[in-house]
Each structure stands twice: as structure tokens, then as C-alpha cells.
Amino acid sequence: MTDNKMRKPVRDVTIADVAEKCGVSIATVSRVLNRKGRYSVETQRRVEAAAREIGYAPNHMAKSLKRKRTEQIALAISDIGNPVYVAMAKSIQQVVKDHGYRLILLSTEALVHEEIGILKSMAKHFADGLIISPLLYSEEHRKWIKRLKQPVVVISGIAEETDVDSVLVDSGHGIRLAMEHLLSQGYSRVAFINGPSQTVPGRARLNGYYSALVEHNLPIDEGLIIDGGDFTLSGGYMTASRLLEISPRPEAVICANDLMALGVMRYLGEKGLRVPRDMAVVGMDDIEHASLAVPPLTTVSLLAAERGRMAAELLMERLEGSSDAPPKQVKVLPKLVVRESSVVVETVTGGA
Amino acid sequence: MTDNKMRKPVRDVTIADVAEKCGVSIATVSRVLNRKGRYSVETQRRVEAAAREIGYAPNHMAKSLKRKRTEQIALAISDIGNPVYVAMAKSIQQVVKDHGYRLILLSTEALVHEEIGILKSMAKHFADGLIISPLLYSEEHRKWIKRLKQPVVVISGIAEETDVDSVLVDSGHGIRLAMEHLLSQGYSRVAFINGPSQTVPGRARLNGYYSALVEHNLPIDEGLIIDGGDFTLSGGYMTASRLLEISPRPEAVICANDLMALGVMRYLGEKGLRVPRDMAVVGMDDIEHASLAVPPLTTVSLLAAERGRMAAELLMERLEGSSDAPPKQVKVLPKLVVRESSVVVETVTGGA
DNA sequence: CACTCCTGCGTAAAGGTTTACGCAAAATAC
DNA sequence: GTATTTTGCGTAAACCTTTACGCAGGAGTG
């Protein structure tokens, strides 16, 4: 019989409780709390007091059901461990929060069927919109996205798609910038370590490498191209040995992303090779640790944070503005960030 | 009049549509689709066929409302840019996903009122549970957590709290491990760069430093303690100069986290000081880039990923098992990870 | 004074699902 | 053959909100 806090099941306080407490109807309470419709200042005072007093908090599930809005945005990325996606997620979180949305983080582990699964499940209405950065953009992706009621923004590489809002960056062009820079520094035999070539970014970057060679009338030497396996740090470290097997040894190497570049630099360091004196290294993405590496890594920024912000803003626009405007594509230009890993050392400025 | 795909508002397909399509009641459809209650195999076949054919997807908001479960877990952390929290988030995401939950990412930007705001808003039932790693655990935190209907797991430093599920790590003990290691290497004047000392981790680590000194009968020299401002990389870089102003120059430095340690190493490098020959450096957290630094950074792992996993499992247990079991505390032991930044160099093993 | 307009608020429906309950028919028991 | 249990399914309530609609009374206008 001692029921002093035996069980929690103490039925939530609902809008009806507030209404009863201050002798009005639930409609009035709702109007006051949502500042919608008409009510007297006296009623407002009483309702607000009652609500505060009994600790009323509107039930989000019921609200969603009625309003047909969850106030949630889903973000689908392939690997939350990748600093690039973290940067994106961070700025996206910022924007959606400012607009009163919560962010749901969905990780696909680089599995295409997971991506499709997410698209399908959007039909269940657990989020009002989706930002997705797919590893590849297949016909199936397109099909499901088109079928969705909610707006979708795709963060991806350059593509011909014009039927969905997207934030694009031409990473292939980024590779060309890197190549130009290396050539201007006097390097001419430049190797290329790629990530998985069947992914959109992998393909784009490889094409960038080819076209840079063509552009500068350089011979295409397949021996200079190494498949890095994946876009990870250990992927770079592992394949760096193959770099040293190339003969004659290349003067410089472009890596398809910073993580791999850092892995490569580490391997070179362990083998006693100095960067850039013995081999110049350039990465891509401009993650925070690129600037911290020893030597600081030259890289091509793809403006991940910026792209995240833009994608989120595009989505907010869709959600709050005219949803029938034609799909928008916004493009972002890769930017070369020159640091010490690729500049010819004239004089060594030693300290102390 | 040409209404060929003019507007989207084409009312969602509901359970009623499925029911009508195959001539049963909505209750039957629900039973079949949820594999609950009784139904014939023939009915099952028809319902499933109809559902698939017209592309039925159960509305998540309605389901939540009725079931009183959102199938969502909220994660509140102060900075998604911090690799430690990323590691936690990653393993938490893993676990909750395996249990059929989605993860909502809430960022507090290290603002205490944001943390409280999140606790309050949990009453709105947008998530079934919460994992929070608060910068500090105040009376107000406790009050609101106790008031919540949903289970909460706190990831934090060691504390006296026993009224809430928590995953604890004694980072102060971690600092003592670092100190012991440095002393065993022959260093004796060891400086300490702390993060904000009013936060739980800041205070714990400072106390760890003090007690390590006491433990080894070393004099307490306030001049060896530097307030690093925050736990960021630039925070470490900025305050490193003050390290060199100390006279006589300390032989080693313990930094309250890896990011600051990396900042310090960078500064030392720029000033021409070599680590560990001129000064040994030890960090804390064991973030991925600690092993990549030059030289690789000795650090104390606080097992962030592990703690995230444990917290998530604790929460799942609460949600799926007996919710009235007494609060659990699980503790994790800091682990010293020795790398080159703190070991006396006997012979230099150069390559090539 | 009669009319219209406005204000403040209540009634009730709607949103899509799950599930307790009950009923008819079929299956089983004796 | 009747009595009992089991099976399969439908009816309707419940979850908690928001909001369209309408009504009564007061204010304004002529």
C-alpha cells in the first residue's frame, strides 16, 4: 500500500490537464501556447501559469501526427569517422538547429543497399527532409528520390543530374589544380594514389588526373597510378610501399584524399624519405590535421563545411519556401591550399 | 486541367488503403504487418501482396503516438568537432542501430543552458532515451534527469553520483599514469597544461596532476601549471609559448588532451625544439592522429569508443529489460599508450 | 433600437496507427 | 449429438494534438 514512488507510469500531463486546471477548453490552451488565433490577455496569463505550474510539455508525437511535420532532418553519410563528413555534419547541424529542426544521423557504412534502404524508409515520415552524400548515384537512387514526398538534397561530385537539389564540387578539377601546382614547382613525374575507382569521387579524381596529364601534354603512364583500396589512412599507408617500387621513383604523388596522403607521408617518413625533398605529397579535402602534419600537407580543399551549410540551406529553403521551384544545383570550386609538403625548399630556415 | 503531376499532395497511402485493397479490416492488416496476434496464411499472403503493390509504408508519427515509442535515441555532446566525441558517436550509432533505433545528434556547444534545455525538452517525447556527456554535472542536471520519464545514461568522469546510469572514467588517474611514466623515463620537472578548470574533466585532470606530485613526493610548483583555455588544438598552440617562459625550462609536459598536445608539439617544432630530446610531451584521449604525429604522441587512452558502446548498451538494457533495476555505474580504466614523444632516445635508428 | 461586425472561446473532427474485446464459425472433445 | 475450445477477423477506442467552424455576447453604426 506504500505507493510512494513505486512506479513511474504516472500518465503524462496533457493539454487536457492544463485546460481543466484553468477552466478553459483544450482548443484555447492550444491557441495560447502556439500563439495562434485569438484569445484575451487574461486567458493567456492563466493558461501559461497553469501550464508552467503543472509542467506541461506538448507531446511531440501527437503534434507531428497532426501537423504532418516531424521537425527532423535526416543526414545520411557513409562514414562518421571521416573528418570530411564530420565537418559537413557539423555545419549542417548548425543550420538546421537554427531553423528549429533536429538532426538525425544515419550512417550507411558505404553500403549502397543501406543508402537505398534509407531512401525507402523516408516514406515512413520520420523526417521532413533528407541530405545525402551518396558514394554513387545510381538509377535506383534517382528512382526512389523522385518517389519521395520530402525534399532531398544531394551532396556529390559534378554530375548531369538536374532533377534534384544538389551541392556539387568538381573534385577532378581539384586534382588538376594539384597537378598544375606540382608542375609549376618543377616536378614532372607525378604519381596518383586513388581511392575505390567505382565510387563517384574515385572516378572523378582519376579522370581529373588523366585530363591534367593530357592538358599538359604529359605521357600517360599507368604505372604511376595506384589503387589505394579505400579512402582511409591505413589505405594510404599500405599502398605507399608500391609507390616506392615504381622505377624510376616518381618525384611527387597526388593522393585522392588527405587521409591517404597522411598515411603515405607516414610511410615515407619511416623509410627515411623526406617530404618534399625526396618526394612531394599533395592531398585532397583539407582536413584539420593536414595543416598539423609534419611537414604541413599541401592539399585541395573541397570546402566540406561550406557544402554542408549550403545543402542545409537549400533544404530549409525547400521546406519553408516554395516547394515547387525547379531543382537547384549549386557548385563549389575546389581551392588549392599550398603548404610545405610540396614546395621546393630553397633554404632551410631552422630555429634556435 | 492538365493535372499530370502538377501537385504532390496525393494523400499518402495508409493502412486503410491496404485493407480496402484486399478486403479485410485495418486491424487485420496491422496484425499481419506487425506479426502480432492471429491470422491465416492466406490472409497474410494477400495483405503482404497488397501492401507491396500499392507501396504502403506505415506512418512513423502515428505509430509513435500509439505505441508511445519514437524508436529514437538522443545523443547530447558539446562539440561534434572533437574527435573524442566523434568516436563516441560512432560506436553509439552502431549499437542503437543494431537495436532498431535511430540516433538524434544534439550539440550543446559547451553551453550549460543548452544541456539543461535538452533535458527539459526530453519531456516532449521526441526520443526514447538520452545519452549525455555533460561538461559538468550540476544540481540542476540531476533535478531534470530525475524528472524525466525516459532513461538517461551519463558519460562522465568519476563522481559520487549513483542515482543515474553512468559510464565513468577517472581521467585524473590517467594523468597519474602519465606522470609515473615520465618519472620512470627520468624526467622530473613536469609541467601541466590544463583545459578549462571549471569543467568536470578539467578539474579531474588538475587534481590528478596534484595527487601525482604528492604521491611521488615532488614539490608543488604552481609555476608549472598552465591554463590552456580550452581543449582545442589552437588552445594548445597558443599557450605553448608560456611553457617556454618557465625558467628553468621543464623537461616534460602533460597536456590535458591530445588536441592541445598536438598544438604544443607544433609550436615546439616551429621554435626548433625537438620532442622528446628537448621536451617530452604526453597527451590524453588517444585520438587517431596522436599515432600519426611526428613524433608519435604518447598519450593516455580514455577509451572513448568503448565508453560510447557501453553507454549505448546500458541504455538499450534499460529500454528493453527491467526499467526498475537500480542505477548502474560502469567504470573504465585509463590506459597508457607509450609512443616516441616521451621515451628517451638511446640510439637514433635512421632509415635509408 | 435594429443591424452588422468583431471578439473570445468551445465543440468536434481529423491525423494513422495499435490493440482490447467480442463474435461467429470452425475445430475439437466427450 | 451437444458442449467446449480455438481460430480468424472486425468494431471501436485510444494515443494527444491542431484547427475549421460556429455560437454567444459585446461593441459599433445608422
Encode pLDDT of B255-284 as tens digits: 999 999 999 998 998 899 999 999 999 999
Instruction: Note the CA–C1' distance, A40 to D26, in angstroms.
Output: 14
Give the torsion sign (CA, A146, A150, A155, A158). positive
pLDDT digit string (tens) for B174-229?
999 999 999 999 999 999 999 988 888 899 999 999 999 999 999 999 999 998 77
Residue A45, pLDDT > 70, answer yes
Ramachandran angles phi, psi of A102, nearest 5°: -100, 160
Q: Which of B179, B118, B200 is nearest to B152 (CA)?
A: B118
Residue A333, pLDDT > 50, answer yes
Q: B93 vs A103: CB contact, 8 Å cut-off?
A: no
- Give me the percent of chain B exceeding a pLDDT of 90: 80
B113 in contact with nucleic chain D (CB within 7 A): no
Give Cα A110 to chain centroid, integer Å. 13
For the ranges A102-106, B109-113, B197-201, which has the lowest average pLDDT?
Answer: B197-201
* Per-residue pLDDT at B346: 61
CB B167 within 8 A of CB B310: yes
* Per-residue pLDDT at A9: 52
CB B301 within 8 A of CB B285: yes
Q: B97 vs A80: CB contact, 8 Å cut-off?
A: no
B38 in contact with nucleic chain C (CB within 7 A): no
* Per-residue pLDDT at B160: 67
Scanning residues 143 through 162 of protein chain A, those with a beta carbon under 7 Å from any atom of strand D turn out to be none
* Per-residue pLDDT at A5: 38
Query: Average pLDDT of chain A?
Result: 91
CB B93 within 8 A of CB B74: no
* Per-residue pLDDT at B322: 74
* Per-residue pLDDT at A160: 67
pLDDT digit string (tens) for A210-222?
999 999 999 999 9
B123 vs A325, more confident: B123
Specify whether the backbone of A63 is left (phi greater than 0), alpha (psi in -120 to 50) or beta.
alpha
Residue B12, pLDDT > 80, answer yes
Q: What is the grid cell recorded at A302?
A: 573541397
* Per-residue pLDDT at B10: 66
d(CA A68, CA A66): 6
Please report residues of B whose CB lies closer than 8 A to that of A324: 7
Is beta strand B102-107 parallel, antiparallel or unpaired with respect to A102-107?
antiparallel
